[in-house]
Structure 1
Amino acid sequence: MRPSLASVLTVGATAMLAAPASACAAPAASADATATVLRVVDGDTIDVVDDARGRLRVRVLGIDTPETKGTEECWGRQATEFATATLLNRRVALVTDASQDAHDRYGRTYLH
């Protein structure tokens, strides 16, 4: 029985998509430090304390939530509530990203 054109195209497309993903896979990140989350400022900003650096305000890289300060944007409060329920008083890994600046224009430390 001959394979259908659809199955051949599906297998081919899957192989083409999988190859670049594995070739460009990022190296496994390791924690630079661990810290305790003291406060959730909003959905993408937290205050932490670690033994090496003390208290830091962290802007979490890769997360961008709606604003809650000034004019509150839709879903901003819910993002903050979720971050609070998930992170507050928990130990977290702090991972730097060499491709990013160390701090943003507000002085927050960029970390994953």
Structure 2
Amino acid sequence: MQSSTTRVDTTVLDAAAMLAIAMGSTPGPAPGPVPQRPRVVADAVVGTWRSRDGAIKLHLRTDGTYAGEVAGRRKRPSGTYRIDGDAVMLHDAASGLHTPVTVRQHGELEMAGHRLLPA
């Protein structure tokens, strides 16, 4: 006699994970020539960045840590970052979530479909 077992997914997502899912990627720009990506240098990304609508704020510090704000979210993301090729990789200390931030031309960062400008 064989026993059948049903597996149930009981994954629990915290606010950071839900935000990452909700803010998933958006379609890229129209097809055309592929621009050269800038070389990421720590000095180029250190500072405060904000989305045009003010919903996202990211502060990258010189010591390799970051702090952020997301509109409508009480818990603020924070942790460490490292430069990884043409991106900055954020590691949220509380949730363990890794978020890539792409350095774009014209002094912009792109994170989870949001364009961030120097504040």
Both proteins in one fold, TM over 0.5? no
Higher helix share: 1
Higher relative contact order (CA 8 A, sep 6+): 1
- TM-score normalized with structure 2 length: 0.26
